[in-house]
Structure formats: structure tokens, C-alpha cells
Structure 1
Amino acid sequence: MGEAAEVQVQIMGQEAREESSAEGNAALQTMTLRIRKYMWWLQIAIYSLFVLSGQTVATLFGRLCFEKGGKSKWLATLVQLAGFPILLPLYCVSLPKSPRTSDSHTSQPSALVLLLLYFSLGMLLAGDCMMYSVGLSYLPVSTYSLICATQLAFNTFFSFFLNSQKFTPFIVNSLVLLTTSSTLLVFQTGDSSDPKRVTKGKYIIGFLCTLCASAGSGLALSLIQLSFQKILKRETYTVILDLIIYQSLVATCVTMVGLFASGDWKSLSREMGNFELGKVSYLMILLWTAVGWAVFPWFFSMNKIDGVKVTAMLLGILGFVSYMYQHYLDDSKAESTNVD
């Protein structure tokens, strides 16, 4: 009986240790998932900071160029695209392969398919940048930036049809708020105290061009995601970089053709000579516009913020927060599923 009791105690101890080990593994797995979640959101915050900082600089310099004598919209479009060579050194960066991206057995698209893909996306990018240039030339920076924020709504709209994005209450709320914020700006025709204000007709043209450009950007993002799913079938570092470089190259070439075909290049030297801040400032503005791209830039400009713009800004912020909160809920749901 003594030996049987001892064996029973050993068995119970072993079971207890196994149970404790299982609980420890579960706790470690949960902690690992939480760390990954926090790191993912930290990456999103850093990427967002880079995007917003670059766009802020580019938009401010772009608007400054138009205000001080710049007139060529083709050149303004070109500087939005011609900065892509700065990304070429990234090809020298070697990243460790993850199991998710080591799918070397996936069939590769043909060179013709890739050419058509890069050309189509490049043409769309060139058209978007041209419409953004027209909008920036006719609109105050604050109004322009608020309208650009509707890209999030367009991205969600096109994702519903192209990427199987589901409409949740928070997503719908985001769409309504962003749409309302832009609609308010239709009734703005600029600051009456601004001696260089544009006419009502040009304001409407600028508004529509910026809105169409935001729609085009949303469509482009959805098409890029669809391309990764249906054509490229991989999302490796090199494939993503190739897509960015080649579509930018196509867009740059298309814009240069437009610059010379329109005859705008003939007036560039005169435009530079008549620039209010001088030739050096003209070139530096073009250079830094090519390096960066805008949100909330009126904090650094002299544009007057009235009640309509404040309301539109708050609605836009609420729409963005609603959109991000839905992503947070989706991420939490996925984490809960993995733990179970």
C-alpha cells in the first residue's frame, strides 16, 4: 500500500507539473501575441509619422511655389514623382526571410503582365498627381488638406468591391463623417481678405480635382492590393519595392512627356527668373517638394481657419479615429481567436 501511494503521489505530481507547464506556455503565448500587437501598432505609428511629415513638407512647399510665382502644373506634378530614385539604395538592404514570404514555389507573372501592371498603375499615379497639382494651385492649404483626407473614405469604398472589405458600423461612421467634412468645404470660396484669392470657378475646379485625385488614390491602393493577391501573389520586400519604383518611373516619364508636349518647358526659365523669392529658392522648393508629402499644414501657414474649416477638421478627425478603432477591434478579435 505504501508503494502504491507513493506511485500515486508521483503521478499526481507529474500531472500537476504538466498542467503548470501548459499554463505557463499559454501565458507565454499570450504575452508574445500582445508584444507582437504592440510592435505592429508602433510600426503603424512610425510609418504614419513619416507619411504625414513628408506630405506636410511637400504640400507647404508646393503651395508656396504657386503663391510666389510658380505656374507650371506639369512641373508641380513632376516634382511629386521624380524623387523615387532616393529609394534605390533600399535594394541593398537585406531583410531576413519569414515563413510568410519564403514562397519561392509560387508561379511568377510574365514580363508582359508585369509591364502592363506597372504601366497601368503608373498612368493612374501620374493622373492623380496632376489633379493634386491643379487642386493645390487653386485652393488654400487647409482646404486642400481636408479634402485629401477623403482618400480614406474612397479607399474603404473601393476595398469593399475589390478587396472584400466588410462594412461595419464604425467604417460606415467613418465614411459619413469624412464625406460630411468635405461637403462643408463646397460652400467655401476662400478667404475674402486674401488679395490673391481665386475666383469661384477656379475654386470649384480645384475642389473637384482634389476630390477626384483622392478617389484615384483610394482606387490605386485597392488595385495594388488586388494585384498582390491575383497577379504578383507575393508581398516580399523586393516585390513591393519593385512595384513602387517602376510605377513611379512610368508616372515620371508620362509627366515629362506632358511637360514637353504642352510647351510648359519653354516658360520655366522665365518662371524661375520672375519667382519672388529668387532662383535659388525656386530650385530648393522644387527639390524639397520632391523629397516629401500633408495633413494639418495650416498650423505652419498663414491661412485663416474659420468655423466651417474647424468643423470639417473635427469631422475628419472623428472619421479617422472611427476607422482606426475598427482596425483595433479586428486586431483584438484575431488575437482572441489565436489564443483560443
Structure 2
Amino acid sequence: MQFSFEKIIKRETFAMVLEMQIYTSLVASCVSVIGLFANGEWKMLRMEMEEFHKGHVSYVLTLVGTAVSWQLGSVSAVALIFLVSSLFSNLIGTLSLIVTPLAALVVFDDKLTVAKIAAITFAIPGVAFYMYKNYLDGLKVERASESLAD
């Protein structure tokens, strides 16, 4: 995506970020709806809504909230790529692998599964290595500026 901003699109506006997100989301939504109807799962939506333990309104609000949250997250990721770099955007995504399950444990009284533990376990070193590399790069720049000052 960063490559497409720099080499192909060559327009650096936040409107372009939103436009890119809208097009990708539109394609993903169309493919999902086609898949929903193609395999017949749309027939199960009413049953799924009936079985939702908090009621119909909560079911719909959960779906809408999830959709809005995903869009905000996607726009934020594209904006980070646009404003900073794709590496930093991936770091924030990796950091969310740590924060999201822990927040779900605290806020929603969720269960800690093996998959969540694995995601957290693999994400922590990734974030730590990125921060350490950033620290080393900062030291290198600082030393270079000190040697130029001497």
C-alpha cells in the first residue's frame, strides 16, 4: 500500500486515503455478500439472531459496532501507512494482538484461550524487537551527529 501511495497514485491527501479504503471495503463487502448468498448461509441469520442471548437489538448493534470498528481500524491503518510507514502500521497492528485479548479479558470477562495466548506470546517479541531496533537507530543518529559536531 505504501508503494502504491509513493509510486502509482502520487497524490498525498487524506481524501486519497479514504478513497483507497472505500474501494477496498466495497470490493470486500460485495464478495462477502455474494458468498453469504451463494452458500445459503443467509438463511441461518434469523436463527443466529434468535439464539443470541442478549436479544435481537443487541445482535444488530453488535454487528453494526463490529463493522464500524473494522472500518475505523482499517482507515487508521491506511492513514498510518500514508503518514508514517507501512512498518509502523504493522507494529500498531501487532500491538493490538497484545492489547485486544487483554482488554476483552478485563472488559467482557472473556476466556483466555490457547490461540489468544499464542498471539500474545508471538506479538510481544515482535513489538520489543521493533522498539529495540528503533532505539539502536536513534543511537546511531545521535553518534553520527556528535561526530559531526566534533
Q: TM-score, normalised by structure 1?
A: 0.29
Sort the Cα spacing of 1:321 and 1:235 in 2 relative to 1 into closer, same or farther, 3 A: farther
| Offset at residue 281 of structure 1 (A) | 1.4
Q: 1:264 matched to which residue of 2?
A: 41
Q: 1:275 matched to which residue of 2?
A: 52
- Whether 1:250 aligns to 2:58 is no
- Please tell me the root mean square deviation across aligned C-alpha atoms, in Å: 3.2
Q: What residue ranges of structure 1 are gaps of 5+ in the alignment? A: 1-223
Q: 2:110 matched to which residue of 1?
A: 302
- How many angstroms apart in 1 are the aligned matches of 2:44 and 2:121? 41
| Offset at residue 243 of structure 1 (A) | 0.9
Q: What residue ranges of structure 2 are gaps of 5+ in the alignment? A: 71-95
Q: 1:320 matched to which residue of 2?
A: 127
- Whether 1:237 aligns to 2:14 is yes
Once the two structures are superposed, what CA deviation does each residue of 1:144-188 show, in whole Å capped at 9, x if it has no partner? xxxxxxxxxxxxxxxxxxxxxxxxxxxxxxxxxxxxxxxxxxxxx
| Offset at residue 286 of structure 1 (A) | 0.9
Amino acid at match of 1:320: V
| Offset at residue 239 of structure 1 (A) | 1.8
Counterparts in 2 of 1:34-45, with a 5 A limit? Answer: none
| Offset at residue 229 of structure 1 (A) | 2.8
Q: TM-score, normalised by structure 2?
A: 0.59
Sort the Cα spacing of 1:251 and 1:237 in 2 relative to 1 into closer, same or farther, 3 A: same
RCO higher in 1 or 2 (8 Å CA, sep ≥ 6)?
1
Counterparts in 2 of 1:1-340, with a 5 A limit? Answer: 224-292=1-69, 295=100, 296=102, 297-300=104-107, 301-304=109-112, 309=117, 313-314=120-121, 316-330=123-137, 333=140
| Offset at residue 332 of structure 1 (A) | 5.7
- How many angstroms apart in 2 are the aligned matches of 1:330 and 1:236? 29
| Offset at residue 331 of structure 1 (A) | 5.1
Amino acid at match of 2:52: F
